[in-house]
Amino acid sequence: MTVSPAMMRYAAEIYRLQQDHEQVPLSLLSSEVDASAQAISTMVKRLNRNGYLIHEPYRGVRLTAAGERIAMPALRRHRLTEVFLVRVMKYDWATAHDLADTFERGINDEIEARMDELAGYPTRCPHGEPIPSKAGVMPEVRDEALTSVPSGSDCVVSRVRTHDLDKLRYIAEIGLTPGTPFHLLSCAPFKGPLRLEMKPHDHIVGYELSQSLWVEVTKRGEGNKLPPLKK
């Protein structure tokens, strides 16, 4: 069976969403691809019928191994387009995701190869997400949420996992883009703010924003040390 570009785009979006959801709710998929419930239902049935996903009513969908394979070309093209828009066309990284949704639909294999060359053969998108190879292999990324890292750790920003424009612009403003090293000085308890030591200025980052930051830990700390109890 011929896999249509629309099927690959839907599979790519499901792949992205299932990184944070065991089952991707159809309502969430609908909001992310900006399609009606009827359009979502039709595509889900089509993908399910051809063995690309499993749909559990009232829970959501998850790709099969075959579904993940057809998602890779669309993921590659989307993330490569984001890099091209930012590096070559000088667009703001905050708007790259939404722009790529429209821009990539007019790209063929020849243009994709040229964009790859002009962008310097990137392996990550501007937000740090890995770009699948031409062969459809997704590079392994070993990182973790900043909120799970103990204080005293040395870290490097790996991925910024949000498409919220205001959050992305603020993250860029304080210099926490992928590749930036910092030292996690302290983590306030009960989902309190985190204090980061970095150049040229230290920053205090709220817990909500920290949830969008994924990091590679180069030296793991011991966590906040509580004072001994007084007798």
Q: Convert 43-73 to b/e letters by CB count within 10 Å (16 or more is b).
A: bbeebeeeebbebeeeebbbbbeebbebbbb
Last residue of a domain, one of 42, 67, 92: 67
Domain that holds residue 196: 144-219
User: Is pLDDT above 70 for 69?
Assistant: yes
Q: Output the pLDDT for position 110.
A: 96
Helix/strand/coil for 182 = strand
User: Token pair of 13, please?
Assistant: 């979006």
Dist CA 225 CA 188 (whole Å): 11
User: What is the average pLDDT across 207-219?
Assistant: 97
Which of 12, 175, 188 has the alpha carbon at shortest distance from 93? 175
pLDDT at residue number 229: 46
pLDDT value of position 30? 92
Which residue, 212, 214, 215, is CA-closest to 162?
A: 212
Q: What sign does the dihedral 105-108-111-114 (CA atoms) show?
A: positive
* Domain membership flag for residue 119: no
88 found inside a domain: no
Q: Which letter does DSSP use for residue 23 in this model?
A: S
Tell me, yes or no, whether 212 lies in a domain. Answer: yes
Residue 105 binned pLDDT confidence (cut-offs 50, 70, 90): confident
pLDDT at 226: 47
Q: Considering 67, 85, 102, which residue would you say is the last residue of a domain?
A: 67
Q: Domain containing 18 — which CATH number? A: 1.10.10.10
Residue 227 has pLDDT above 70, yes or no: no
pLDDT at residue 230, rounded to an integer? 53
Instruction: Please indicate, yes or no, if residue 61 is contained in any of the structural domains.
Output: yes
Q: What is the CATH number of the domain that holds 181?
A: 2.30.30.90
In-domain check, residue 85: no
Specify the pLDDT at position 224: 65
Q: Is the pTM for the entire model greater than 0.85?
A: yes
Nearest residue to 61 via CA among 97, 96, 22, 93 = 22
Q: Which residue has the tokens 């031409």?
A: 134
Mean pLDDT of the chain: 93
- How far apart are the C-alpha atoms of 229 and 17, rounded to whole Å? 45
The length of the chain in residues reads 231
Contacts of 85 (CB under 8 A, 6+ apart): 91, 96, 99, 100, 103
Q: Which two tokens stand for residue 225?
A: 């040390």
Name the band, by pLDDT with cuts 50, 70 and 90, for residue 223. confident
Q: Quick check: is 39 in a domain? A: yes
Check pLDDT > 90 for residue 204. yes
Residue 62 included in any domain: yes
Say if residues 83 and 133 touch (Cβ distance below 8 Å): no
Distance CA 21, CA 35 (A): 20
Does residue 122 form part of some domain?
no
Residue finishing a domain among 67, 83, 98: 67
Q: What is the pLDDT of residues 109-122, one digit of tens each?
A: 999 999 999 999 99
Q: How many domains is the chain partitioned into structurally?
A: 2
